[in-house]
Structure 1
Amino acid sequence: MEKIKPELRIFESSEELSSNLADYVLQVAESAVKERGSFSLVLSGGDIPIRLGKLSKEPYVRLVEWSKWHVFWAEENVVPKRHPDSYYWQAMQWFISKVPLLPAHVNPVSPGLSGESAANSYEFAIRQQLKSRTVQVSRSTDCPRFDLILLSLGPGGHVASLYPNHPVLEEESQWVACVSKDESCESVTLTLPVINAATNVTIVASGLDTARPFMDTMVGRKPIRSHPAQMVLPRDGNLVWFADASAASLFLRANEPYATSATDS
């Protein structure tokens, strides 16, 4: 199928972005539950766990059918479960522990394993979710087809743990891979085929430190492997960017006619 053009939503403040992101997550969740009876949400690091804290407050916490939600991770650092750098632990503190999600529906990467073992174990766990039909299967790729994957744009232009010019960007067979950014840090990440098989993908860009990678990703002037966010293009799904004014500052300056319509929408 033809790739769908990304949608760009720009907000005046980070707070406004968070509120609109919560609205969007709720909208996608309601649609998935109505269509299939469940909703699969994939989280990542960055500020995603903090922003999802909005869903633990009124009116969201009252409107959500929490028993229908199933939570996964797009990336995880290979650290103990309660380590400050654990994205699972961050999500627990800011979001999961504050809402009535069913514990059996929370699917973290197994702690206490080596990077490769953790990646293999998590891919096996996802395959089990496909067998139980908690997660759909993409008809075009046989990859899992998550309802919504939330990603955060990093200062280096990366999303999930897909770093610039890393060999994992070429991975086609594995669903989950172990990535070493440097000798001191290993992480587990969903690969691009899985991300691009999702029904909906959202990338959040916030803060001045993402202004340059956001600009470069939007205009596509850099080699694509140097900006992995450019490689997120769902095959037959929706891609929506949520950016605050700081992250979009360079882009808006270079696209003034667009700036007015984007921020007024």
Structure 2
Amino acid sequence: MEICQFATPDDVATAGAEFIYSRAREAIDERKQFTLALSGGSTPWRMLSELAEFELPWERVKIVQVDERVAPDGDPERNLVHIQKEFADRISLPPENLYAMPVVDENLDEGARQYERALIQVAGEAPVLDIVHLGLGGDGHTASLVPNDPVLETANRDVDITKPYSGRRRMTLTYPIINRARHILWLITGEEKAEMLNRTIQADYDIPAGRVNQQQATVVADAAALSRHLQK
């Protein structure tokens, strides 16, 4: 795991955008395509706004979701709304290159299977995504891999549905596909995340984030979020 410290959340957002841009260029040069899985959060929206300023052959970029709340289309709690506003609309991403999780389907389990098929279309059998971007909750959750949810034990599916969490069920990528990614980008800011970030870095299996593969992981965080780690 590589750990990169920055002074402010804005610096973190800038560094995250630069990280993605660099890996996107490499992937497009080597494989003619770049696949990016996006989580939600205020710092990521700033990161995406900055990423949109870079020059890339966006027609070769495929965007998938790490997780999504089960909520109606256009609901402001949906990550998709912000991905479209802060990023996809600004770069004129071809609509077919943005793969939205089908969380309005009546049958959510079938929706999860549908999304697995879309991921195979994007990244092959046993899909390998170029970058999976992750955040970190105050309870140690990442993606929508939340404490004490059966989804934590999902081993044979790449997409699953959670129990209600903070009032809503979620569709989420699971550990198998997250841990197969070529790069995992953690974007973490704020002192309130310091304890859980330190436990994540220590690979504490008792929190969901601690189970994510560290070999291909990069943490981009501000000094406040890294304060507990820096005390070691």
**5 Å matches for 1:1-265?**
6-47=1-42, 48-57=44-53, 60=54, 63-114=55-106, 117-130=107-120, 132=121, 134-137=122-125, 143-182=126-165, 184-220=167-203, 222=204, 224=205, 226-233=206-213, 238-252=216-230, 254-255=231-232
Aligned to 1:3: none
Shift of 1:183: 8.0
Aligned length: 231
State how far apart, in whole Å, the 1-side matches of 2:110 and 2:45 are: 24
TM-score (norm 2): 0.92
Shift of 1:125: 3.6
Structure 1: runs of 5+ lacking an equivalent? 1-5, 138-142, 256-265
TM-score (norm 1): 0.81
Q: Deviations 1:51-91 (Å, cap 9, x if unpaired)?
A: 2111123xx1xx21101001100100000120010000121
Contact 1:119 1:176 in 2 (8 A): no
**Deviation beyond 4 Å, 4+ runs, structure 1:** none
When Rg is computed on C-alpha atoms for both structures, the one with the higher figure is 1
Contact 2:99 2:118 in 1 (8 A): no
Q: Deviations 1:114-141 (Å, cap 9, x if unpaired)?
A: 4xx33532432442452x4x3134xxxx
State how far apart, in whole Å, the 2-side matches of 1:71 and 1:148 are: 10
Distance of aligned partners of 1:172 and 1:13 in 2 relative to their CA distance in 1, 3 Å threshold: same
State how far apart, in whole Å, the 2-side matches of 1:44 and 1:162 are: 12
Contact 2:116 2:159 in 1 (8 A): no
Identical-pair percentage:
26
